[in-house]
Structure 1
């Protein structure tokens, strides 16, 4: 049902929640309260059925066969590329389909950065980056002699923009920044950041993993050079994602992997590569997964990303208020603009123990360093718990979450 035209408070969110089969189950005899959508989003029946339909009725490889099934598979796969391009407001021929943000960033690291960087050059990353937007740049820096600079955050969890812009000196060739922090929920002003970088001739890579599922996106308007997303966080299957890149970069970059589909002609004397984006898509792709991701784009768009963002902001505000009123809870990150992610600790409990006890109450939260060791070091803790909300969550689930924390605190006293 298309409710995109309706305001968020007029949408039947309970009806939408019914689209998610897993949310009906119990764990440890308690109704499941799934608060780990920053880790992976749950899948609506429409996505599950799209994948099932492909395997039942259309299963074939893409771009390799002229028979009916092969044509159907190719049309559906390329149709998913078009749907994702529309969702991001980019050109389909600038969108490389891949396994997710980690692959996408490594593609930029090895195909764009490695051939270009040299001793004396620098890469800027931020304190709040996921390891997937740190480690590839470290590996490239080690091989090229480039250095890494770190943009810091303030006490609220916002980027220190003055310090960041001060780092953008002539030796900096690349800036890597998260659109939304997976730990703090901080929404970075990526449009302004990319504008400042472009003025200085610095190439920008934006990690959009935590933005694409939760807010309207206009990647073209952001003004970055590269934008990476992960499909399984936005109601799609695992093993799906994409890298958007400016056409001039894609044309100039050598292939990252070699094999089938990324070629026009192979001879022992040399190979002629396919045009972008296909020259970066070697081998048989996750066809069913991308068809599912296309269905996820349809599903999210039908609800309306403005509505999804408003719903999740209401849940965030309510949950933050309830946690602030709970004794012994420490929240990490209170950025001025924040997505529906709350990292927290409860006095007297290690994050892993806390998550285990909450799980016994049916509440699923993430515990650990969240692939963000440098951020944990900044706050002086080894780990936190993280409750991350999606539009299919309810205010009653927030109440159950708070009640579970209260029960854990009683056990600790």
Structure 2
């Protein structure tokens, strides 16, 4: 339970190391060049990390170094640059495997969670589902974990079933488990809600699904930047994440899958590097994961993502989680004191995301006026239309925090919100 949830207003730690080991958070923040800029003549307060995370200098420099010193295609040349590029690319795969505690040959490198989920939808689900089968989702899903399943259902005759939330924004587990009937072939759900911050009990949910013979896919986009992950211990069948939310470059991501699935699934895209031999009479495909990686990949992006994994690991994911919990508690308590503020989602276990509205103000107006104060928050439906409908609102504002934020920035944000509230009153 957060301090805010218990009714105790937290105070900012007196040192940067408080509650999170011997981490110098001021030094960590200095690693992020963009955070030093100004917006509209005011210091930037970046509270949109759930949308995309900022990049430390180590990541920027890794991408720059690749293009300056090692640029070549992967797996296609025996010259020095080709070997260096291939080693850097496969080295990133190995780093990601250690980060997730899985085997590197179980990781498909792709453009992000959206691609990863579509890969499962078209390569695993489409050949298997039949009329009368069902897919279970939850009401807190991102569109990337809704639309692919709708498309597959339309083509196979399968149906979708949706698990509800309780009044706090927690998943209604009793309702979810009641939906896991024999016709259900897949349960797809998020690890952490991008709107509510709700952290779902993935291991227990997957255990219940596995008892019923149901395959599970977990959207880990909002979990990977904030939580220490042991994917092998979660018990799911598929796990997807996005690199740009975890301090890496855009256009990078990972699908982890159990080896038996990867072996049985047909390729999703055809082209170079996903083959062993091609003739006009037929093609022999490469082994997984390479049979799912057609064409030239985002090599420099994955070099950068490997550097991001190194960077996060050096800080320690437990330290990051503790820091962000402290920021969340502090911000929640401060926002609850602002008259007219409505916070959406007060789950028992919650990541550092606060979706909110101010009485009488539209989310876009709030975000626009906060931007004039130098404060960057997201406004809109957050690619979660069904969740907005659940709460009866067209949009919310969302402040999302990362370990590089400060308690002083939260003070600036809350003061700016008070000023904006008065303007709109």
TM-score under structure 1 length normalisation: 0.98
Equivalent of residue 201 in structure 2, options 189, 194, 199: 189
**Alignment partner, residue 63 of structure 1:** 75
Find the counterpart in structure 2 of residue 101 from structure 1: 113
The aligned residue for residue 11 of structure 2 is none
1:268 corresponds to = 280
Distance 2:50 2:423 in 1: 28
What SS does the corresponding residue of 2:399 show, helix, strand or coil?
strand
C-alpha separation in 2, matches of 1:161 and 1:240: 32
Q: Provide runs of 4+ in structure 1 moved above 2 Å.
A: none
Q: Deviations over 1:39-82 (max 9, x none)?
A: 00000000000000000000000000000000000000000000
What is the distance in 2 between the residues matched to 1:304 and 1:81?
19
Residue in structure 1 matched with residue 398 of structure 2 by the alignment: 386
Match of 2:318 in 1: 306
User: Equivalent residue for 1:225?
Assistant: 237
Shift of 1:6: 10
Evaluate the alpha carbon distance shift between residue 167 and residue 233 of structure 1 in structure 2; reply closer, same or farther with a 3 A threshold. Answer: same
Contact 2:19 2:323 in 1 (8 A): no
Give distance in 2, aligned partners of 1:408 and 1:109: 44
CA distance in 2, matches of 1:224, 1:30: 45
Partner of 2:98: 86
Q: Distance in 2 between matches of 1:109 and 1:404?
A: 43
Could you tell me which runs of 5 or more consecutive residues in structure 2 were left unpaired when the two chains were aligned. 1-16
- Structure 1: unaligned runs, 5 residues or longer: none
Q: Measure how far apart 1:335 and its partner are.
A: 0.2
2:348 corresponding residue in structure 1: 336
Cα distance between partner residues in 2 of 1:69 and 1:408:
54
Partner of 2:8: none
Structure 1 CA distance for aligned equivalents of residues 420 and 410 of structure 2: 15
Q: Which residue of 1 aligns with 2:374?
A: 362
User: By how many angstroms is 1:348 displaced?
Assistant: 1.4
Structure 1 counterpart of 2:329:
317
* 3-state DSSP of counterpart to 1:349: coil
Specify the alignment match of 2:6 in structure 1.
none
Name the residue aligned to 1:257.
Answer: 269
* Aligned equivalent of 2:31: 19
Q: Could you tell me how far 1:341 is from its partner in structure 2?
A: 0.2
Equivalent residue for 2:421, pick from 403, 409, 413: 409
Give 3-state SS (helix, strand or coil) of 2:228's partner.
Answer: coil
* Structure 1 residues 118-172: Cα deviation after superposition (integer angstroms, max 9, x where no partner): 0000000000000000000000000000000000000000000000000000000
2:19–2:322 CA contact under 8 A, matched in 1: no
Quote the offset at 1:15 in angstroms: 0.5
1:10 Cα deviation (Å)?
Answer: 2.8
Partner of 2:123: 111
Structural RMSD (CA): 0.9
* Aligned-residue offset at 1:9: 4.8
1:160 matches 2:199: no
How far apart, in 2, do the equivalents of 1:263 and 1:11 lie? 46
Between the aligned partners of 1:68 and 1:127, the Cα distance in structure 2 is 51
How far apart, in 2, do the equivalents of 1:84 and 1:330 lie? 38
Q: Distance in 2 between matches of 1:88 and 1:183?
A: 24
